[in-house]
Amino acid sequence: MTRRFFSKLLLVVVAVFGLLVLSSMLSAQGRSQDAFERVKEVQEKHTDRLMAIEGVEGTAVGLDDSERPAVKVFLENPGVRGIPRELDGVPVHPVVTGKFYALPKPEGKPGGGTKIDPTARLPRPVPIGVSTGHPDITAGTIGCRVKDAAGVYALSNNHVYADENKGPIGINVLQPGPYDGGRDPGDAIGTLAAFNTIKFDGSDNTIDAAIALSSTANLGNATPSNGYGTPKSTTAAAYVGQPVQKYGRTTRLTKGKVYAINATVDVGYDSGTARFVNQIIITPGTFSAGGDSGSLVVDASRGSNSRKPVGLLFAGSQFFTVANPIDAVLGAFGVTIDGE
């Protein structure tokens, strides 16, 4: 009787302890979320004033050196003056990023001794994550296959498939891109179906994206065998510290983490400078290079979010990569990921 009583008591104690731990974790998560929301409010309130300071390239929501939620201020060079230590009681964390640029210009051929060359002309249907482009530009990356009721499409950037707003709709898109030897029309895998217009007048942009009407005969929905495989069809929202990965034309499979969210950044193009809001910032600098523009960024955790699309890579600096939130991209075209 006594042993049974103590066994039941032990079970009750364990259950109560578990509930207390769970409650504490949920409470901490709630406090953390509230803290990030507060930082976001302050960041958005002061972004215009901060970006008016010469040498400031952007702002975002992230963590400071003490792991506290903070307003990140991105600087072209060290020593930019006029950056406050805090705003409305929220820590401000300046970080040198250098200038941000769209990444259409390839930086040579991938190395590493692999037999899989994402710059080559590949058998049809081509995998995602490989060289592609408008006939008049160099080369970028096929992000993934997306779909709607009308068919399937290759997803990439405006500056990869629409040559920075030039289009025109209906022009061929190639695999590989011209820089990698692609020729029009022999290497066409589809035709430009739609693109968002990038605004260079100082007003806000959210995405740099385009889709090309293709077919399952010309376009697959998985990376080459040395990549992460097939992305999930459902997406995941980015969060600070999230592990992510991508497969791209130049650097192939790379892994990193989300460094900051809700970023406002100025991005340089051949056509001028465009301001983007609500962007995702990824580290380290080796996560991407020129020619990786258009790559799909997916969750790299081992949990239920693994391989869920997070963003569409389009720009970067020496130390960071910038990606559009994938839900904003898909919503603009009324498509979904054609994945697993």
pLDDT tens track for 124-170? 999 999 999 999 988 999 999 999 999 999 999 999 999 999 999 99
pTM: 0.90
Residues of the chain with CATH 3.30.300: 2-96
Q: Please choose, from the candidates 273, 315, 279, the residue with its C-alpha nearest in 3D space to the C-alpha of residue 294.
A: 315
Output the pLDDT for position 323: 98
CA gap 250, 133 in Å, rounded? 14
Output the pLDDT for position 18: 44
Output the pLDDT for position 28: 36
Of all helices (H) and strands (E), which one includes residue 5?
A: helix 2-51
Residue 142 tokens, joined = 């096929």
Residue 184 tokens, joined = 């029009």
271: left (phi over 0), alpha (psi -120 to 50) or beta: alpha
Beta bridge partners of 70: 62
Residue listed under structure tokens 């960024």 = 297
Output the pLDDT for position 138: 87
Regions in the chain scoring below 70 on pLDDT: 1-31, 104-105, 107-114
- CATH architecture of structural domain 2-96: 2-Layer Sandwich (3.30)
CA gap 198, 274 in Å, rounded? 7
CA gap 302, 291 in Å, rounded? 28
Output the pLDDT for position 105: 65
Q: Which residues of 126-135 are buried (b: 16+ CB within 10 A; e: fewer)?
A: bbbbbbbbbb
Of all helices (H) and strands (E), which one includes residue 31?
A: helix 2-51
CATH T-level assignment (fold) for domain 102-340 = Thrombin, subunit H (2.40.10)
Residues of the chain with CATH 2.40.10.10: 102-340
CA gap 252, 292 in Å, rounded? 8
For residues 268 and 91, the answer to whether their CB atoms sit within 8 Å is no
